[in-house]
Structure 1
Amino acid sequence: MTEIEDRWLSVEEISKYLGVSNDTVYRWIDKHRMPAHRMGRLWKFKKDEIDEWVKAGGASSHDQRTE
């Protein structure tokens, strides 16, 4: 079954899956509209949503701040 595959992932799990730091995940949520769902104080992710976001180039956007 796909029950295990379709579970909600934590920030730590999604950062490990993508090979980036937790701080990068939080920055992508804030600046690049990474698909994330707030559950109380925690952020949770669906792996298939993240895969689609990455394929669409969501993580490749450059931060355009001039500060």
Structure 2
Amino acid sequence: MTDEILTIREVAIFLKVTERTIYRLAAEGQIPSFKVGGSWRFQRTDLLQWMRDQSPEQFDRRPDGGNGE
């Protein structure tokens, strides 16, 4: 399921950081997230796009580096 909703713990494991880091990023609006009943939730597809946006060259799989040459 690509639109899977994740908890802070699941995102921390996914990104290999502490739960505290994820909470801080969410509270500061630095990572795509939303609240449900006071608890942070994250959509997996939003996180994947956020990761691509953070470092586009790292996620570009084209051999030409994405510049079309």
TM-score by length of 2: 0.68
Which runs of 5 or more structure 2 residues have no equivalent in the other structure?
56-69
1:24 paired residue number = 21
Q: Considering only CA atoms, is the larger Rg found in Structure 1 or Structure 2?
A: 2
Identity of aligned residues (%): 24
Would you tell me which structure has more strand in proportion to its own residues? 2
1:9-61 Cα shifts (integer Å, max 9, x gaps): 11000110110100110111133521001001211111110111111118xxx
Letter in 1 for 2:30: R
How many residue pairs end up in the alignment? Answer: 55
Q: Paired residue for 1:49, among 38, 42, 46?
A: 46
CA RMSD of aligned residues (A): 1.8
